[in-house]
Structure 1
Amino acid sequence: MDSIPANRRFWNRISSAYQHEHDPQIGATPRLWGMYSIPDAHLHALGDITGKRVLELGCGAGQWFRELAAEGAAVVGLDLSEAQLAAAAGAMGANRYPLVQGAAEQLPFAANSFDLVFCDFGGLSWAPPHVAVPQAARVLSQGGRLVFNVASPWSESCYDVAASHVTTTLQQDYFGLSAIAEDGGATSYQLSYGGWVRILRGAGLIIDDLIEPRPDLGTFNGYNETDTPDWAHRWPAELLWVTHKP
Structure 2
Amino acid sequence: MDSISGNRRFWNQISGAYQQKHDARIGATPRLWGTYAIPDTHLRVLGDVTGKRVLELGCGAGQWSRALAAEGASVVGFDLSEEQLAAAARAMGTARYPLVQGAAEHLPFAAGSFDLVFCDYGGLSWAPPHLAVPQAARVLRRGGRLVFNVASPWFEACYDEAAGRATTTLRQDYFGLDTIDEDQGAVSYQLTYGDWIRVLRGAGLVIDDLIEPRPAPEAANGYNKTDPPDWAHHWPAEALWVTHKP
TM-score, length of structure 1 as denominator length: 0.98
Q: State the SS of the aligned residue for 1:132.
A: helix
> What does residue 239 of structure 2 align with?
239
Which stretch of the first structure deviates more once superposed, 100-109 or 167-176? 167-176
1:93-108 paired onto structure 2 within 5 Å: 93-108=93-108
> Which stretches in structure 1 are left out of the alignment for 5+ residues?
none
1:68-83 paired onto structure 2 within 5 Å: 68-83=68-83
> What does residue 197 of structure 1 align with?
197
Residues 227 and 69 of structure 1, relative CA distance in 2, 3 Å threshold: farther
Residues 160 and 19 of structure 1, relative CA distance in 2, 3 Å threshold: same
> What does residue 23 of structure 1 align with?
23
Whether the aligned pair in 2 keeps the contact of 1:166 and 1:226 (CA below 8 Å) is yes
> What does residue 136 of structure 1 align with?
136
> What does residue 40 of structure 2 align with?
40
Using the TM superposition, give the Cα deviation of residue 47 of structure 1 relative to its aligned residue in structure 2, in angstroms.
Answer: 1.0
Using the TM superposition, give the Cα deviation of residue 103 of structure 1 relative to its aligned residue in structure 2, in angstroms.
Answer: 0.6
Residues 220 and 83 of structure 1, relative CA distance in 2, 3 Å threshold: same
Structure 1: distance between partners of 2:48 and 2:10: 34
Structure 1: distance between partners of 2:39 and 2:94: 27
Structure 2: distance between partners of 1:223 and 1:215: 14
Letter in 2 for 1:162: A
Whether the aligned pair in 1 keeps the contact of 2:69 and 2:96 (CA below 8 Å) is no
Structure 1: distance between partners of 2:95 and 2:38: 27
Using the TM superposition, give the Cα deviation of residue 225 of structure 1 relative to its aligned residue in structure 2, in angstroms.
Answer: 2.5
Whether the aligned pair in 2 keeps the contact of 1:206 and 1:244 (CA below 8 Å) is yes
Structure 2: distance between partners of 1:3 and 1:116: 25
Using the TM superposition, give the Cα deviation of residue 226 of structure 1 relative to its aligned residue in structure 2, in angstroms.
Answer: 4.4
> What does residue 122 of structure 1 align with?
122
Percent identical residues: 78
Which stretch of the first structure deviates more once superposed, 226-235 or 11-20? 226-235
Whether the aligned pair in 2 keeps the contact of 1:165 and 1:228 (CA below 8 Å) is no
Q: State the SS of the aligned residue for 1:142.
A: strand
Q: Is residue 2:22 matched to residue 1:60?
A: no
Q: State the SS of the aligned residue for 2:240.
A: strand
Using the TM superposition, give the Cα deviation of residue 195 of structure 1 relative to its aligned residue in structure 2, in angstroms.
Answer: 0.6
Using the TM superposition, give the Cα deviation of residue 94 of structure 1 relative to its aligned residue in structure 2, in angstroms.
Answer: 3.8
> Which stretches in structure 2 are left out of the alignment for 5+ residues?
none
Whether the aligned pair in 1 keeps the contact of 2:69 and 2:95 (CA below 8 Å) is no
Whether the aligned pair in 1 keeps the contact of 2:104 and 2:135 (CA below 8 Å) is yes
Whether the aligned pair in 1 keeps the contact of 2:219 and 2:230 (CA below 8 Å) is yes
Structure 2: distance between partners of 1:161 and 1:222: 18
Whether the aligned pair in 1 keeps the contact of 2:78 and 2:100 (CA below 8 Å) is yes
Letter in 1 for 2:233: H
Q: Deviations over 1:163-218 (max 9, x none)?
A: 22111121111002100001111000000000100000000000000000110011
Structure 2: distance between partners of 1:171 and 1:127: 23
Q: State the SS of the aligned residue for 2:105.
A: helix
Structure 1: distance between partners of 2:226 and 2:124: 21
Q: State the SS of the aligned residue for 1:105.
A: coil
Letter in 1 for 2:54: V
Instruction: After the TM superposition, list the runs of 4 or more consecutive aligned residues in structure 1 that deviate by more than 2 angstroms.
Output: 93-96, 224-228
Whether the aligned pair in 2 keeps the contact of 1:137 and 1:146 (CA below 8 Å) is yes
Letter in 2 for 1:63: Q
> What does residue 172 of structure 2 align with?
172
